[in-house]
Amino acid sequence: MSATPQKNRASRRVLAAAAGLATVGALVAAMPAGAHDRGHGHGGGPGHGHKPRTVDVQLLSFNDLHGNLEPPAGSAGNVSETQPDGTVKAIPAGGVEYLATSLRTARKGNPYSVTAAGGDMVGASPLLSGLFHDEPTIEALNGLDLDVTAVGNHEFDEGATELARLQNGGCHPVEGCYEKGKKFKGADFPYLAANVTKEKTGKPLLKPYTVWKKNGVKIGFIGVTLEGTPDIVTANGVKGLKFHDEVETINKYARELDRKGVKSIVALIHEGGAPASTSYNYDCDSPGAGDGISGPIVDIAKGITPKVDALVTGHTHQAYVCTVPDPSGKPRMVTSASSFGKLYTDTTLTYDRRTNDIVRTSVKSANHVVTRDQPKAPDMTRLIDRWNKLAAPIANKPQGWISADINGRGSTAPEKPLGNVIADAQLEGLAPADKGGAEVAFMNPGGIRADLVHKASGSEGDGVVTYGEAFTVQPFTNMMNVVDLTGAQLVTALQQQVSGPNEASPKILQVSEGLTYTLDLTKSGADRVVAGTIKLNGEAIDPARTYRVAMNEFLAGGGDGFPALGQGTNKLVGASDLDLFNAYLAAHSTATAPLAPPATDRITVIQ
């Protein structure tokens, strides 16, 4: 999911593992292996005497952790599981204490085990990680024995220099070291960014690939982020960088690995798709009409050389284990493990010692739930407790009260209750003439990172919204902008939700009270926004009139596929989105009169 990039902080995502099994698919492909040596090689050592011709390599993977060290709260912390009778059950999942246990349990009895991730380990993180520029998440990933990850778009939230610090270590250039006498060590696994180069030199920003080795077994990993990363990250985050085509880049480095004798190759791709069902145990290879997977990863998978044996993907926060045909027509495994460490994928790669390649017809894969009914990993509990003590003075401050859950990230509806609260907070804070004179506010859905949950997360009491909880909803600390846009530009912006780059996967803006329109999903492209129904405070939008529009700096820069919003003039920069959100909670709630979830009646949806 695209999300607002973050100005002052970055976040990463954590890992998930545990019980529940998902889909199994057979896979076909040829793999090269890689250059830079690497491998924790979890498990036992080499045997004596005759080696069998094939060895099963366990590939454990996850994606989009986004610094969720603690179990995600509310509906954002559930995974859907289809039961034998066809009903769907929500299972609470995630949290690195459980992810660590899941991965460690899965590795038992697998002497050849490698753990890889599909990007967005950090960025848009909850306060526990985001407050410390995601050092806690990197530390947790080191403890989870992650072997390799691709970069995702969120790894660029704070720019290339900060990404290099996360890789190499060193204390923060502004805030210094967070713990007395302790210097941040950085990641002990490589971040791969094969399709990201420096504009000035044309050279790769980070390693393009790595080769995991154990007892003569070699598997190459190539890592890429989506080519469209600059469209979903603030300009400062990608300054001086160039992002290249995913397929061309992977094919180039697969040839290089092949020449070096690495015939087994896995691509780690921070781009994904949408399966026909949101249940993690959905059989993605079902032959029925409307079954399977759609989205950008399908065309990418079809274009990647057969030298690559499996694709670990991410970005869309979906769960799937699918086969997509490679260019030679043979099926190849494509997997994604939801987000926030709620699932992990266990893939078996049968390695042929004679050919140094994967026996593609033997590839099997399944997603497993990182359940919360298993023992917690004590080292992860200690890590969380240590950082929570440092965060507590800021995190535990009450900001307001709510009467029930107000869903944001966990809502699948176009108009989300929490989206309405956020847009209303932005309008209220920026409506005064000296604050910008805003008449309407827009919020991008990807920037809403969590739900507001009524149940207490700590000792604050049910219904209390703490600073840490508010930060988890809006972790980017984007500065707000108020700009002039014509009515015609406003209409175009609303149409861009469902057309252009957003046609295949609509991004429905959350709108402040007073703006209403009809979204007709039976139509296609821009026509899905019924122009004649767009009204502000009951009056039709006048194409020639100028309106004052509030939005975060990411949207005001045309981010998320909204070039019309980037055409604003007469800009006034206001407070941060988080400050406005907290001010609104304080103004509209008390312990005796908590804020109730608002009605979702601004967008009329026809399906």
For 248-276, the pLDDT digits (tens) are 999 999 999 999 999 999 999 999 999 99
At residue 41, the pLDDT reads 42
Among the residue ranges 19-28, 371-380, 415-424, 588-597, the one predicted with the least confidence is: 19-28
- At a CB cut-off of 8 Å and minimum separation 6, what does 392 contact? none
At residue 32, the pLDDT reads 33
> CB-based burial of residue 53 (10 Å sphere; 0-12 exposed, 13-18 middle, 19+ buried)?
exposed
- B/e letters for 108-141, b = 16+ CB within 10 Å, e = fewer, are eebbbbbbbbbbbbbbbbbbbbbbbbbbbbbbbb
pLDDT tens sequence across 214-224: 999 999 999 99
Name the pLDDT band for 287 (thresholds 50, 70, 90). confident
Select from 322, 245, 258 the least CA-distant residue to 33. Answer: 258
Provide the 3-class DSSP secondary structure of residue 374.
coil
At residue 289, the pLDDT reads 85
* Separation CA 585–CA 587 (nearest Å): 6
Round the average pLDDT of the chain to a whole number and report it: 92
At residue 286, the pLDDT reads 87
Find the mean pLDDT for residues 80-106. 98
E strand map for 182-283? 191-192, 196-198, 209-214, 217-225, 241-243, 265-270, 274-275
Find the mean pLDDT for residues 544-548. 98
Cα angle value 20/24/27 (rounded, 5°): 145
Name the pLDDT band for 19 (thresholds 50, 70, 90). very low
* Separation CA 443–CA 515 (nearest Å): 13
Q: 359 pLDDT exceeds 50?
A: yes
> CB-based burial of residue 518 (10 Å sphere; 0-12 exposed, 13-18 middle, 19+ buried)?
middle
Q: 24 pLDDT exceeds 80?
A: no
Question: What is the β-pairing status of strands 241-243 and 196-198?
Answer: antiparallel
Among the residue ranges 35-39, 92-96, 98-102, 134-138, the one predicted with the least confidence is: 35-39
Q: 347 pLDDT exceeds 80?
A: yes
At residue 288, the pLDDT reads 84
- Compute the Cα dihedral for 263, 323, 115, 318 and give only its sign: positive
Q: 15 pLDDT exceeds 60?
A: no
Provide the 3-class DSSP secondary structure of residue 191.
strand
Name the pLDDT band for 474 (thresholds 50, 70, 90). very high
At residue 49, the pLDDT reads 56
Q: 348 pLDDT exceeds 80?
A: yes
Name the pLDDT band for 290 (thresholds 50, 70, 90). confident
Sheet with 479-486, side-by-side order of all strands = 510-511, 440-443, 546-552, 479-486, 569-576
Name the pLDDT band for 13 (thresholds 50, 70, 90). very low
Q: 424 pLDDT exceeds 80?
A: yes
At residue 4, the pLDDT reads 43
Among the residue ranges 3-7, 115-119, 235-239, 354-358, the one predicted with the least confidence is: 3-7
* Separation CA 395–CA 418 (nearest Å): 20
At residue 44, the pLDDT reads 41
Find the mean pLDDT for residues 386-408. 97
Find the mean pLDDT for residues 67-95. 97
Q: Which helix (H) or strand (E) holds 400?
A: strand 398-401
Residue 125 has, within 13 A of its CA and on its CB side, a CA count of 36
> CB-based burial of residue 346 (10 Å sphere; 0-12 exposed, 13-18 middle, 19+ buried)?
buried
Select from 105, 157, 77 the least CA-distant residue to 449. Answer: 77
List the beta bridge partners of residue 349. Answer: 57
- At a CB cut-off of 8 Å and minimum separation 6, what does 224 contact? 150, 192, 193, 194, 195, 246, 249, 250, 267, 268, 269, 270, 271
* Cβ pair 469, 491 in contact under 8 A: no
**Token pair belonging to 76:** 């954002």
Q: 40 pLDDT exceeds 80?
A: no
